[in-house]
């Protein structure tokens, strides 16, 4: 059920919807004017103060949360304004692509760590935590893996890959997405697991092999299972949540090391399903299993919102607010990361053929969007909503698994 109106409050003070939309319209014109002056959108100082106590990392920290984003390694090197915005807003980072298998081990045993090393060095210099993404996934695999997989090789190659990649950053990662997107109930298996190249070669045990190898390679990192489609009240999302819970319970029974679940949070508008009891029950169940939860890849596909910028901002803000208001009251949730920080660097444009997207906290010129205000305000509401008894399932004692 939606609990919020459509008004975005960029100033953090009560403003009428009309004032807000007028502001957004002026903002549109300014962006358009800037866009006419240069083919690459220039980054200019934001019209409002978003640093220090106005930053997302600050509002998150006040609620015991980390805020961060997926980072584009090339842009971090070349775009000083982007790097500045990341330093200002983020307390945790994850490389968007440069730690995927294809990028980091394009040929067997030949590793390319330059980009990831640079991102990790940037994070450490600026006291920002790092997540690793991702060790075992059915996508972004180099040809040599897909071509040659036999059960014996698969096990040896996967273990060596994890030793090398997670081992390189051992003790320096807050968490690792060890296994990514292993659930696909549509594939028809009773356990809901995806019929992936890993499953076909090694059986369901591949998940356990990966997690054990990751624990050995980096005992300090929180080992995370990460997946999409776990957020709204659609029947398919509930089925996916059920499959994740089944997997988590099986891992616990078998004493497999696992510390967290990543809810990717790729949202879209319009979405009539809303967020509610299904997500709350899921979070409570994960908490009972002593698992932390991270929102790992939040963004909003607004390609079907064929309207002007202000309307897109309002729709994106409402969707983010409704999702975070449902998720954040649960104390299992410890971090929120967006998949990209500015729409200048986002997969949304290509993926959804949507150059006008407003689906991240900052736009093409690094100005805050409706999404920025929605995230900030949802952080601010966390404790208030958590105090309402109907918002969360009663706390159960947390059992210690390791």
**Residue 296 or 326 having the CB closest to ligand XIL:** 296
225-255 per-residue burial string, b: 16 or more CB within 10 A, e: under 16: bbbbbbbbbeeebbebbbbbbebbeebeeee
Taking the complex as a whole, how short is the minimal distance between the CB of residue 264 and ligand XIL, in angstroms?
A: 6
Residues of span 255-274 touching ligand XIL by CB under 6 A: 264
Active-site position among 238, 297, 309, 319: 297
CA angle (345, 349, 354) in 5-degree steps: 145
Least distance between ligand XIL and beta carbon 173 (Å):
16
Alpha carbons 214 and 210: distance in angstroms, whole number:
6
Q: Name the active-site residue from 96, 105, 181, 309.
A: 181
Q: How far is CA 82 from CA 113, 164, 349, 362, in A?
A: 22, 30, 18, 10
| Residue 290, φ and ψ in degrees, nearest 5 | 60, 40
Nearest residue to 342 via CA among 299, 375, 310, 307: 299
CB of 180 to ligand XIL, least distance (A): 5
| Position closest to ligand XIL via CB | 347
Single residue of 97, 175, 292, 365 touching ligand XIL by CB under 6 A: 97
309 catalytic residue (yes or no): no
Considering the complex, state which of residue 67 and residue 101 has its C-beta at the smaller distance from ligand XIL.
101
The answer to whether 342 touches 357, Cβ cutoff 8 Å, is no
3-state SS assignment for residue 265: coil
Alpha carbon distance 95, 166 (integer Å): 14
Question: Which residue's CB is nearer to ligand XIL, number 95 or number 329?
Answer: 95
96 binds ligand XIL (CB under 6 A): yes
Q: How many CB atoms lie within 10 A of CB 264?
A: 22
**Binding of ligand XIL at residue 299 (CB under 6 A)?**
no
Instruction: Decide if 322 contacts 275 (C-beta within 8 A).
Output: yes
115 makes contact with ligand XIL (CB under 6 A): no
Does residue 227 touch ligand XIL according to CB under 6 A? no
Handedness of CA 171, 290, 101, 149 (dihedral sign): positive
In the residue annotation, 34 being an active-site residue is answered as no
180 binds ligand XIL (CB under 6 A): yes
- Report 343-362 residues binding ligand XIL (CB under 6 A): 347
> Pick from 33, 10, 34: which is nearest to 22 by CA?
10
DSSP 213-226: HHHHH-TTSEEEEE
Pairing mode of beta strands 266-268, 260-263: unpaired
6 C-beta neighbours (distance < 10 Å), count? 16
Using the minimum distance from each CB to ligand XIL, give the nearer residue, 21 or 230.
Answer: 230
Which CB, 193 or 392, lies closer to ligand XIL?
193
CB of 194 to ligand XIL, least distance (A): 13
CB 123 → ligand XIL: shortest distance, Å? 18
Binding footprint of ligand XIL, residue count (CB under 6 A)? 6
Nearer to ligand XIL, 97 or 292 (CB): 97
**Helix (H/G/I), strand (E/B), else coil: 167:** helix
Give the residue with the Cβ less far from ligand XIL, 144 or 347.
347
Chain residues binding ligand XIL by CB under 6 A are 96-97, 180, 264, 297, 347
- The catalytic site residues sit at 181, 297
């Amino acid at each position: 059920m939606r609990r919020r109106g459509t008004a975005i409050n960029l100033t953090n003070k009560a403003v009428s919807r009309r004032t807000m939309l007028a502001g957004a319209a002026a903002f549109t014109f300014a962006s358009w004017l800037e866009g006419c002056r240069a083919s690459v959108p220039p980054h200019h100082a934001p019209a409002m103060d978003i640093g220090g106590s106005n930053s997302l990392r600050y509002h998150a920290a006040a609620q015991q949360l980390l805020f961060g984003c997926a980072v584009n390694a090339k842009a971090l090197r070349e775009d000083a304004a982007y790097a500045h915005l990341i330093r200002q807003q983020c307390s945790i980072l994850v490389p968007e692509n440069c730690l995927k298998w294809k990028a980091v081990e394009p040929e067997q045993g030949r590793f390319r760590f330059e980009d990831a090393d640079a991102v990790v060095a940037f994070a450490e210099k600026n006291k920002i935590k790092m997540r690793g993404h991702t060790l075992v996934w059915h996508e972004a695999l180099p040809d040599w893996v897909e071509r040659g997989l036999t059960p014996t090789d698969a096990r040896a190659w996967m273990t060596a890959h994890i030793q090398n990649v997670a081992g390189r950053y051992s003790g320096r990662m807050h968490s690792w997405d060890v296994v990514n997107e292993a659930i696909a109930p549509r594939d028809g298996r009773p356990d809901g697991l995806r019929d992936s190249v890993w499953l076909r070669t090694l059986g369901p045990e591949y998940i356990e092999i990966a997690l054990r190898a990751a624990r050995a390679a980096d005992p300090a990192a929180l080992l995370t299972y990460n997946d999409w489609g776990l957020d709204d009240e659609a029947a398919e999302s509930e089925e996916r949540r059920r499959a994740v819970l089944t997997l988590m319970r099986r891992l616990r029974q078998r004493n497999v090391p696992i510390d967290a679940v990543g809810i990717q949070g790729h949202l879209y508008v319009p979405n009539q399903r809303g967020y509610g009891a299904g997500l709350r029950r899921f979070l409570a169940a994960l908490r009972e299993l002593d698992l932390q939860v991270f929102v790992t890849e939040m963004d909003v596909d607004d390609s079907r919102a064929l309207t002007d910028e202000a309307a897109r901002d309002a729709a994106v803000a409402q969707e983010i607010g409704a999702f975070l208001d449902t998720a954040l009251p649960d104390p299992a949730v410890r971090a929120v990361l967006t998949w990209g920080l500015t729409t200048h660097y986002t997969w949304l444009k290509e993926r959804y053929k949507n150059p006008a997207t407003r689906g991240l906290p900052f736009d093409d010129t690094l100005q805050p969007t409706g999404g920025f205000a929605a995230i900030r305000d949802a952080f601010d509401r966390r404790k208030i909503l958590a105090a309402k008894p109907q918002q969360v399932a009663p706390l159960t004692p947390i059992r210690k698994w390791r």
